[in-house]
Structure 1
């Protein structure tokens, strides 16, 4: 239990706010497992919502699926839809939104899915049932509305792939043609 609660501690080294938010999140997470835990946790969930969402300005619902090693950089104005799925060792900066789309008929789209080792710059907006691959970096201010493949860098509004990362050799490969910029999605 102790290792579960503190699984993000090392990732947020030197980041007290990130450490506090992630410990509180991991403590609240069992409430989403079944109805008994939810009822038992109601007072804590009220405390979690008040402290994390209202005072710290980080919307991270307790039912969100978040992998080990989640880092919150400058945790301010961070909005993560509760149905989003976040992989291991992800790095999210301030003013980032992971959300869904509300359609005219009142229904909603799926929420974003982030792979492992994803790094998001500040003010990144990922909207809809978008899948972000593993080992991806998304530049500040990017708006992502389409899937991003593994091992690349994406920037812009709308976001497009500008570089592929050769993970085996550690070499960055720039995109050279318009066709490569819009590579197949995952």
Structure 2
């Protein structure tokens, strides 16, 4: 993938959302800079500006070390918190006030971070914590708290999240 295609890979997913386009452009640029120690030294002021503007001003915690597939879509990206160990697949949707990260274990250590598949739609005010795996083509309803794995092609809602229904695959 060339330089410009990499920077603009999330633009189509955020067609009507200029803030989402801008945040993800800045995020992808920070990811590129993060790949090289020389680039980190040269563009250190940019990384500080990214951290200040995106994290503190807009309230969106997208660490530059985060692993995210192409086509990420941010709706009303405010109060969005992602741990840098989270892995997100292609074409996922994140809405406002969502928290995704590890949890503190009884012995004081931290669990692994969630792994989210492709084409996952995460509603507003969702909390996904701990070493959980979210399958492909999953919808997580608003206000859900996910602490267990969710299989592919499912709809999950509630606190704690439970599988509401399994989506049927069309036969074509």
* TM-score (norm. length: structure 1): 0.88
Give me the whole-angstrom Cα distance separating, in 2, the residues matched to 1:39 and 1:105.
37
RMSD: 1.3
Give me the whole-angstrom Cα distance separating, in 1, the residues matched to 2:167 and 2:139.
10
Does residue 102 (structure 1) correspond to residue 95 (structure 2)? The answer is no
- 1:116 corresponds to which residue? 118
Following superposition of structure 1 onto structure 2, how do residues 47-58 of structure 1 map, counting pairs within 5 Å?
Answer: 47-58=49-60
Larger radius of gyration: 1
Deviations along 1:71-122, whole A, 9 cap, x unmatched? Answer: 0000010000111000000001000000111234332110111100000010
- 2:133 corresponds to which residue? 131
Q: Secondary structure at the match of 2:14?
A: coil
Q: CA deviation at 1:169?
A: 4.2
Following superposition of structure 1 onto structure 2, how do residues 19-168 of structure 1 map, counting pairs within 5 Å?
Answer: 19-168=21-170
Q: Residues 28 and 41 of structure 1 are in contact (CA less than 8 Å); yes or no, is this contact kept in structure 2?
A: no
Give me the whole-angstrom Cα distance separating, in 2, the residues matched to 1:64 and 1:56.
18
Deviations along 1:137-161, whole A, 9 cap, x unmatched? Answer: 0000000000000001000111011
Give me the whole-angstrom Cα distance separating, in 2, the residues matched to 1:79 and 1:20.
17
Q: Residues 134 and 151 of structure 1 are in contact (CA less than 8 Å); yes or no, is this contact kept in structure 2?
A: yes
Task: Show structure 1 runs of 5+ residues with no match.
Answer: 171-186
- 1:4 corresponds to which residue? 6
Give me the whole-angstrom Cα distance separating, in 1, the residues matched to 2:90 and 2:33.
21
* TM-score (norm. length: structure 2): 0.95
Task: Show structure 2 runs of 5+ residues with no match.
Answer: none
Q: Residues 85 and 112 of structure 1 are in contact (CA less than 8 Å); yes or no, is this contact kept in structure 2?
A: yes
Give the 3 Å change call, closer, same or farther, for CA 135–27 of structure 1 in structure 2. same
